[in-house]
A and B are shown apart, each in its own frame.
Chain A
Amino acid sequence: EAGVAQSPRYKIIEKRQSVAFWCNPISGHATLYWYQQILGQGPKLLIQFQNNGVVDDSQLPKDRFSAERLKGVDSTLKIQPAKLEDSAVYLCASSLLIGGGPQETQYFGPGTRLLVL
Chain B
Amino acid sequence: AQSVAQPEDQVNVAEGNPLTVKCTYSVSGNPYLFWYVQYPNRGLQFLLKYITGDNLVKGSYGFEAEFNKSQTSFHLKKPSALVSDSALYFCAVRDPRYGGSQGNLIFGKGTKLSVKP
Question: Which residues of A approach B to under 8 Å, CB–CB?
Answer: 4, 6, 31, 40-45, 48, 50, 55-56, 91, 93, 95, 97-111, 113
Contacts and interface: CB of A to CB of B under 8 A. Distances in A.
Given A42-B90, A42-B92, A43-B107, A107 B101 contact: no
B43 A110 contact: yes
A91 to B, nearest CB: 6
B49 A105 contact: yes
Contacts of B108: 42
A44 B32 CA distance: 17
Contacts, number: 69
B66 to A, nearest CB: 19
A45 B90 contact: no
A103 B44 contact: no
A66 to B, nearest CB: 19
A21 to B, nearest CB: 13
B53 to A, nearest CB: 11
Contact of A102 (B4, B41, B92, B100): B100
Nearest to A96: B101
Contact of A106 (B4, B52, B105): B105
Interface in B26-52: 32, 34, 36, 41-46, 49, 51-52
Contact of A104 (B4, B103, B107, B110): B103
B71 interface: no
Contacts of B42: 110-111
Contact of B101 (A44, A101, A109): A101
A44 B90 CA distance: 12
27 contacts: A6-B43, A40-B109, A41-B109, A42-B90, A42-B92, A42-B110, A48-B102, A48-B104, A55-B102, A91-B43, A91-B44, A93-B44, A97-B101, A101-B100, A102-B32, A102-B100, A104-B94, A104-B101, A105-B46, A105-B49, A106-B46, A108-B43, A108-B44, A108-B45, A108-B46, A111-B43, A113-B41
